[in-house]
Amino acid sequence: MSATAERPLLFLDIDGPLIPFGSPQPAAPAASDDDGNPLLARLDPGIGARLLGLGCSLVWATTWMEEANEVVAPRLGLPRRPVLDWPEADEPALHGLHWKTRPLVEWAGGRPFVWVDDEIGAVDRQWVAAAHPGPALLHRVDPARGLQDSDFRTLTDWLATLARPS
Ligand SMILES: [Mg+2]
């Protein structure tokens, strides 16, 4: 197996982690650079390099869907990455389970993964613990602030434990 194939997955949400809701009103947006969406002004362009530095294989897990690649990734200097699909409409929704949880566990297929999101709850943690045989870190980000230094420390510390023999 190649080094790339063995890299842990990073399922990454956008609204909350990358676009914090609690930002002060952005300055008058540059009319040419917001694609009509003022939320994009809240993206921190420097965060792309920090995400790449984690050494994970990134998968977008966001309602932005393909716009994650078209609109968000270029602003962060990130390459195109796969996008987690919505689950099939005929799958029964489980009360309290996030729509992303089941598909991302299936995607991982037992491979180690990190999930960074502002909407992770107790039911998601229980589901992953029961359904995912490999290591997983479900990391909830404060949507008022977005990804902070302390979040990156948590992620790098956890990823370092994967590299160590137990
Ligand atoms: Mg979110």
Take residue 100 and report the two structure tokens written for it.
Answer: 């992303």
Residue 59 Cα, ligand 1 centroid: separation in angstroms?
Answer: 14
pLDDT above 70 coverage of the chain, percent: 86
CA of 108 to the centre of ligand 1 (A): 20
| Dihedral angle over CA of 101, 106, 112, 115, nearest 10 | -20
pLDDT band with cut points at 50, 70 and 90 for residue 144: very high
Task: Using the mean position of ligand 1's atoms as its centre, give its distance from the Cα of residue 141 in Å.
Answer: 9
Q: How far is the CA of 153 from the centre of ligand 1 (A)?
A: 20
What's the mean pLDDT in 117-137? 97
Rounded to the nearest angstrom, the distance between the alpha carbon of 166 and the centre of ligand 1 is 33
Angle between helices 101-108 and 122-131 (to 10 degrees): 30
Centre of ligand 1 from the C-alpha of residue 138, in Å: 13
Q: For residue 142, report the distance from its CA to the centre of ligand 1, in Å.
A: 10
pLDDT band at 27 (very low <50, low <70, confident <90, very high): low
Q: What's the predicted TM-score (pTM) here? A: 0.89
Question: What is the domain class of 3-163 according to CATH?
Answer: alpha beta
Beta strands in 52-148, from DSSP E residues, in sequence order: 57-60, 113-117, 136-140
pLDDT tens-digit series, residues 48-84: 999 999 999 999 999 999 999 999 999 999 999 999 9
* Confidence grade of residue 35 (pLDDT, cut at 50, 70, 90): low
Distance 165 CA to ligand 1 centre (A): 33
Give backbone dihedrals phi and psi of 103, rounded to 5 degrees, phi first: -65, -35
Q: Any idea where the domains of the chain sit in the sequence?
A: 3-163
